[in-house]
Structure 1
Amino acid sequence: MANLPPSHYPDIGQLGEDLVAQWLQSTGWIILHRRFSCRWGEIDIIAQYDATGGVGGAGKGLFTQDSILIFVEVKTRSSGNWDAGGRSAITPQKQAKLWRTAEIFLAQYPEKADYPCRFDVAIVYCQRISKNLTGAKVSQEALATSSVAGYNLKLQEYIPAAFDCSIGNGDG
């Protein structure tokens, strides 16, 4: 029997991004964009936090000293992956692409250009749900979990300011 075309399989990368976006929202972040793309690349999640507005999204578009933007790279991997759960995939070249893509975002949304910004990485573990699996399985604690489309997903690690890039805001 022939293999099904890729369109018949769920996009585990998108499932991982969904989990991270839901977790960020549950901790007070406002999701501004998902899969923002330009000629330089793609940023999985762009979110804003406004500490003075509290949870609920007050301050949309309003800059306060406690507002921050994050550019989140989500790495969703299954067992037996070759790149340390996705950490090894954040090469200096990938960081440069994320940096340039973030600059394009800020150019397109100049009202956000003065916000402090950082680059975060989320590591999601994905496991296919086995129909033969019975009983409880002991596993490492997760920040968030989800079961969808035949997969168990776990947000294993969230790394704020994952690499040393900060977006300059001009001459001030």
Structure 2
Amino acid sequence: MPPAAPRPNRQSLNLQVGEWGEQLVCQWLTQQQWHILDRRWHCRWGEIDIIARSSASTPTPHINANRLAFVEVKTRQAQNWDADGLLAITQSKQQKLWKTAQIYLGKHPELAELFCQFDVALVQCNWISQPPNTVDIHDELQETAIDIKQPFHVGGYQFILLDYIESAFTL
């Protein structure tokens, strides 16, 4: 019998859980008629978790079809210290995201005329059981409808998209 694969260390597990939280938000955004342009886009100023463009074919009174969202995803366990990640979006963090977005738009001038917004997605992740060695959340999410405040189970964890805050801050 082959030896069992080693369990990931705490840091790599936290990175994986963070990536799963981002993937959950990407799936939800796609279901809301957004097109994901980039994930984990980074430059010297920082990183933007998700960059998405609205893809609604016909604008409605509350949806501008020409929007670009720079999305910060915060994945936290229940009963955390920072209001599910909301308190981590400090003035300093907002300025870094703004500078990073400016550089992104400089590299993608075709998007510079779109209405830009900074959104925040709050995801809760709770450990339920021992996670398997490998889990492909992409396969798990393929057929799943994601709703705000509805649990989604993957790899021994329960994820909940607690809130999606459009235009969470402006500079």
Q: Distance in 1 between matches of 2:11 and 2:150?
A: 27
Kindly provide the amino acid, as one letter, of the partner of residue 76 in structure 1. T
Q: Distance in 1 between matches of 2:92 and 2:32?
A: 30
Is 1:13 aligned to residue 12 of structure 2? no
Is 1:95 aligned to residue 94 of structure 2? yes
Measured against aligned partners, the alpha-carbon deviations of 1:71-125 in whole angstroms (never above 9, x if no partner) come to: 0000000023111110100000000000000001101111111111000000001
Paired residue for 1:153?
159
TM-score by length of 1: 0.76
Q: Distance in 2 between matches of 1:7 and 1:123?
A: 20
Measured against aligned partners, the alpha-carbon deviations of 1:37-77 in whole angstroms (never above 9, x if no partner) come to: 000000000000133369xxxxxxxxxx7311000000000
Gaps of 5+ in 2: 1-6, 131-146
Compared CA separation, residues 15 and 96, structure 1 to 2 (3 A): same
Q: Distance in 2 between matches of 1:4 and 1:32?
A: 30
Kindly provide the amino acid, as one letter, of the partner of residue 14 in structure 1. E
SS at structure 1 position matched to 2:161: strand
CA contact (8 A) 2:58 2:65 kept: no
Runs of 4+ in 1 over 6 A off after TM superposition: none
SS at structure 1 position matched to 2:152: strand
Is 1:115 aligned to residue 130 of structure 2? no
Superposed displacement of residue 143, structure 1: 4.4
SS at structure 2 position matched to 1:130: coil
CA contact (8 A) 1:43 1:73 kept: yes
SS at structure 1 position matched to 2:57: coil
Percent of matched pairs sharing the same residue: 48
Q: Which of residues 33, 39, 54 in structure 1 aligns to 2:44?
A: 39
Answer 1 or 2: which has greater helix percent: 2
Gaps of 5+ in 1: 55-64, 132-140, 166-172
Q: Distance in 2 between matches of 1:6 and 1:89?
A: 21
Compared CA separation, residues 114 and 164, structure 1 to 2 (3 A): same
Is 1:25 aligned to residue 30 of structure 2? yes
Compared CA separation, residues 8 and 98, structure 1 to 2 (3 A): closer
Superposed displacement of residue 5, structure 1: 2.7
TM-score by length of 2: 0.77
RMSD: 2.2
Superposed displacement of residue 7, structure 1: 6.4
